[in-house]
Amino acid sequence: MAVMRRRPRTAGAEPGAGARGVHVARRGGHLLARLVMLITWLVVAVIVIAILLVVLGANESNTIVQAVQDAAKFLVGPFETIFSFSNHKTEVAVNYGLAAAVYFIVGSLIARLLRR
């Protein structure tokens, strides 16, 4: 016959309401952090796709290309004219790339704070 042993309880290890509340709050913070990172990655992806469309010379009259470029232009807003180059493709790559990097860094920092 098998005998099951119980682990001895240690002081403060009882799952009281306070312990559960902290666990739930942490879990909610982690979920929110994941959501922030998902949105961050989507924003960065739109900007990087727009960079590729410009650098590779995509057809600007295409509806999908226009939609991606419009969304990226909205997201890049203040970063659009930070650096000026004679080559338009280089200018877009640098300015949009800078915006993507800033979005990624800020989104990562916010997610990290939410995980605490």
What CA–CA distance (Å, rounded) separates 85 from 77? Answer: 17
With cut-offs at 50, 70 and 90, classify the pLDDT of residue 108: very high
Q: Do 54 and 93 meet the contact criterion of CB atoms below 8 Å apart?
A: yes
With cut-offs at 50, 70 and 90, classify the pLDDT of residue 19: low
- H or E segment and range at residue 96: helix 88-115
Q: What is the mean pLDDT of residues 34-43?
A: 96
Residue 89 has pLDDT above 70, yes or no: yes
- Cα→Cα distances 50→4, 8, 62, Å: 62, 60, 13
What pTM does this model have?
0.74
